[in-house]
Amino acid sequence: MPNMPHSLARTTAASMIAFAAVGGGATSTHANETWAAEKKFVEVFGQKMAYIERGEGKPIVFVHGNPTSSYLWRNVIPHVEGQGRIIVPDHMGMGDSEKLPASVEGRYRLFTHAKYFAEFMRQVDAQQDVTLVLHDWGGAVGFDWAFHNQGSLRGIAYMETFVKPLDWVDLPEDFHPTLKAVRSDEGEKLVLQDNMFIEGMLPGVTDRPLTEEEMGEYRRPYLNAGDDRLPTLQWAREVPIGGSPADVAERIGNYSSWLETSDVPKLFVDAEPGVFITGNTRAFARSLPNQTIAKAKGLHFMQEDDPDTIGAAVSSFVSGLE
């Protein structure tokens, strides 16, 4: 990509693979114990799903993506406290939610996460006047829920996520080799053994250095090599490029077409320089109706780079909703 900032240059396939290949980083058990201790649990299809809950009122649901957890939103949600009932889940197999057994059909695929999320929303009684705040794969899960529950929506805020099906040209060229590698047999080693998405991608597309405490919390669900890291690999294999996987492209295409015409209030927090929403994808996102646009600094994990700006934008958006 032309005029690539020095920080984004760190995200080249070579650097991420090399970073992962040194052994997957320290296997620290150090974590943010206060955050973990605050979590509640609800049973979803026989598995425990973890979440943070604060306040009362209309639900404001923050949804994370790959390879993070509810912890990603820790510095954003204080800006919205007092404006509603804040709910911040961990996807299955991530954060403190249970790993899915191998017997679950489509384990960790988008349609499975969407199914568990929809049931989670029922279990915690978040079905009316819902405001969604979405990032990365949390956007696909949240937009899909919104498409199927249009009468339950109050508003949608989103950033660095999937607003439409993609082609290779829509992604930074430096990501192409890595994404192709993890979608091949090579991905088993890169992700399940070397923990590439935690050790390479996460710090590689965050502009500031993450502290050891922060990295410890993000590593915590994936300390054991192998099956415990499968959620992070499967997400990468779900990215719909050129219509494949077909079922994922169809789901995203359905909600993308709906977003183009829906008058549900929207907030697009546009990352500068950003990673996922750039070029034609950014132009599409900016064109959506009944939408406010705010800017925040950062690469992909912009909640780590500019949480106060994001939090202020979400707070202002929520306060303006009917």
Annotated catalytic residues are 136, 160, 300
Specify whether the CB–CB gap between 85 and 58 falls below 8 A: yes
CA distances from 120 to 42, 124, 159 (A): 8, 6, 22
13 backbone dihedrals φ, ψ, rounded to 5° = -55, -40
DSSP class per residue in 209-243 = PPPHHHHHHHHGGG-SSSGGGHHHHHHHHH--BTT
- Amino acid at position 231, single letter: P
Sheet holding 85-89, edge to edge: 40-44, 47-54, 85-89, 59-63, 130-136, 153-161, 266-273, 291-298
Neighbours of 269 (CB within 10 A): 28
DSSP code of 166? B
Q: Which of 201, 220, 202, 184 has the alpha carbon at shortest distance from 50?
A: 220
Query: CA 99 to CA 102: how far, in whole Å?
Result: 9
Residue 263, SS3 per DSSP = coil
Query: CA 293 to CA 105: how far, in whole Å?
Result: 39
